[in-house]
A and B are shown apart, each in its own frame.
Chain A
Amino acid sequence: MITLEKVCFGYGKNETLRDVNLHIGKGDFCAIIGANGAGKSTLTRLMRGLLRPTSGRVLIDGQDIAAARPSTLAAKIGYLFQNPDRQLCRNTVREELLFTLQYAGIPADRRDALCDAALERFSLDGDGDTACMSRGERQRTALASALAAEPPLLLLDEPTTGLDYSECTAIMERIAEMNERGVTVVMVCHDMEIVLDFAKTCVVVADGQVLGEGTPADIFYNQPLLKRASLIPPQLIELASRFGGEVGRPTHAEDFAAIIREKRSQK
């Protein structure tokens, strides 16, 4: 779905991203992880065509997006910004969603249905005032608006940052549902538990370079890699890796408990 070939980019003189090669397949749920300032947001902006690489190519469905205007990609890619406030520009939630749908080129007679579906999915009040909502509601509105046109590709920059546990799970479950329906999801995320629970693949970014790719389990059990990227794995994996290979590579508490129980009964 998305391919980056030898992409380099810098905001000023110094390079922010160096020689990034990446392929994200159709239907994937890919998490981009890395420390603050590693270049994750820059990477997603490049994928959306908001920034042009200084060298290299970004391909979406095999087509170089340098040739496309950013606006023509609107129907294809839903994009959630790190800060939802920059995105919301209408008075009510419904107007906000309709605005997105209009610019995504959805015919007028289908907009209302899609808008209602998105409101329903994120349990939002269509008449809610976008200016005086809580942080969680604003985030859900921004996300609902990114998803409203049901684009085949979602680029999400930190969708869960600053939300409480229940908001977080609610949002992630909606995103996972979209993914099951075949939507490709690329998500920047700082919460390793969420990455472990939801992502299918994982890309580690540090200092403007891609250090590694793989399933979340592969990445989180690769301690030298995490160390280089200044990341900490979920506690459970930290604990399991203290045992070395003895307990295998559990990713969830149940697996871990089952392994321990089995070991005990063997004795």
Chain B
Amino acid sequence: MKGFLEYIPGDSILHRLDPRTKLLMPLILCLACFAADSILLLFVILLFDVALGYLGGIGKQTLRTLSKLARIMLFLFVLQILFIQRGETLIPLIAGLRITDEGLRTAALVALRLIAATMPLATLLSLTKLDELADSLVVRCHVPYKYAYGVTAAIRFIPEFSRQMSEIIEAQTARGVEFDTKNPFRRIAMVIPLCVPLLISSVRKIDGTAMAAELRGFNLRGRHNIRCTSRFGLSDGVGILVCLALAVAGVLL
């Protein structure tokens, strides 16, 4: 199975977009989400996020990301409801706590906003070859070579980390540590010490990668060494316009 943010090859219209567009679209959508103050509009943006996933041929994966995010946000949603006590009481709870109309609305807005804002970046990054993204950033956007490759290398390590983490958890299960407890706090307390081996092996790996890059003359390379063939096209324009339209709607509504 492909990990989070790992490149998924394909030939969809989204795959063929300019890497810059694929970075710009999530940014605009993110702004749109934070500007938007209407639950309906946020739903529309969320639908658009899912549509993007299907357009890129990774519908199933997008839905899986959505359900994972939704589970995290549910937690936030409940917290928000409990903390915001202004407005009309809808349902009274114990100890003077109550669910209010304002609490419900704000909680829904926050949860929806965070989901809708993070989804497109995950979707579009997994449809972008990281090397193309870095090349395009260096040549077209004049980002310094080292930073562009630093960032893409970091993104590349994320799926690697999650694979390592599952191996580590497996290794601890073999010793008799039980991770399948229902209590989320106990689970977190168990996982934290495991970050030690993850950190150690990651630092080793990053050190090795950096050294290997150095040995192959990474320092000597610069803008002039890169051939970047990507160009803005019609589909790039359409994609960015749709996102802009959503952002404008967000500001106005």
Q: Which residues of A contact B (CB under 8 A)?
A: 12, 45, 48, 50, 69-75, 77, 79, 81, 83, 85-91, 99-100, 103-105, 131, 145
Contact = CB atoms under 8 A, between A and B. Distances in A.
Contacts of B200: 85, 131
A71 B197 contact: no
Nearest to A80: B174
Nearest to B166: A86
Interface string B189-231: 0000110110011001000000000000000000000000000
Nearest to B164: A86
Interface in B174-196: 174-178, 180, 193-194, 196
Contacts of B175: 74, 79, 87, 99-100, 103-104, 145
A69 B177 CA distance: 10
B131 interface: no
A89 B167 contact: no
B176 A83 contact: no
B172 A81 contact: no
A89 B176 contact: no
B76 to A, nearest CB: 30
B194 to A, nearest CB: 6
B176 A74 contact: yes
A89 B177 CA distance: 12
A71 B177 contact: yes
A220 B173 CA distance: 36
Interface of B: 1, 164, 167-168, 170-178, 180, 193-194, 196-197, 200-201, 204
Given A12-B1, A131-B200, A86 B177 contact: no
Given A86-B164, A86-B168, A71 B173 contact: yes
Contacts of A89: 168, 172, 193-194, 196-197
B193 A70 contact: no
Contacts of A91: 196
Nearest to A45: B170
B1 to A, nearest CB: 7
A87 B167 CA distance: 9
B171 A86 contact: yes
Contacts of A81: 167, 170-171, 174
Nearest to B195: A89
- Pick from B164, B168, B180 the residue with the most CB of A within 10 Å: B168
A198 B193 CA distance: 37
A83 B167 contact: yes
Contacts of A103: 175-177
Contacts of A86: 164, 167-168, 170-171, 197, 201
A87 B171 contact: yes
B42 to A, nearest CB: 35
A48 B201 CA distance: 24
23 contacts: A12-B1, A45-B170, A50-B170, A50-B174, A70-B174, A71-B176, A72-B176, A73-B176, A74-B175, A75-B176, A77-B174, A79-B174, A85-B201, A86-B164, A86-B197, A88-B197, A99-B175, A103-B175, A103-B177, A104-B175, A104-B176, A131-B200, A145-B175
Given A87-B171, A100-B175, A104-B175, 14 more contacts: A50-B170, A50-B173, A70-B173, A71-B177, A74-B175, A75-B176, A81-B170, A86-B164, A86-B168, A86-B201, A87-B175, A89-B194, A90-B193, A103-B175
A40 B200 CA distance: 27
